Amino acid sequence: MTRTMKPKPATPPAFTAPAIPPADVLGRLAALKTTSAPALKQQWRALFGTEPPPYNRRFLESRLAYRIQELAYAV
Per-residue DSSP letter, 22: G
The residue with greater pLDDT, 2 or 63, is: 63
Mean pLDDT, rounded, for 52-70:
95
- Report how far residue 65's alpha carbon sits from residue 54's, in angstroms, rounded to the nearest whole number: 17
Q: Is the pLDDT of residue 75 over 70?
A: no
Among 40, 45, 42, 36, residue whose Cα is nearest residue 60: 40
Mean pLDDT, rounded, for 11-15:
78
> Which range of residues forms the domain containing residue 30?
22-73
- How many C-alpha atoms does 14 have within 13 Å on its Cβ side? 1
In a domain, 48, yes or no: yes
Mean pLDDT, rounded, for 8-26:
85
In a domain, 16, yes or no: no
The pTM for the full model equals: 0.79
In a domain, 6, yes or no: no
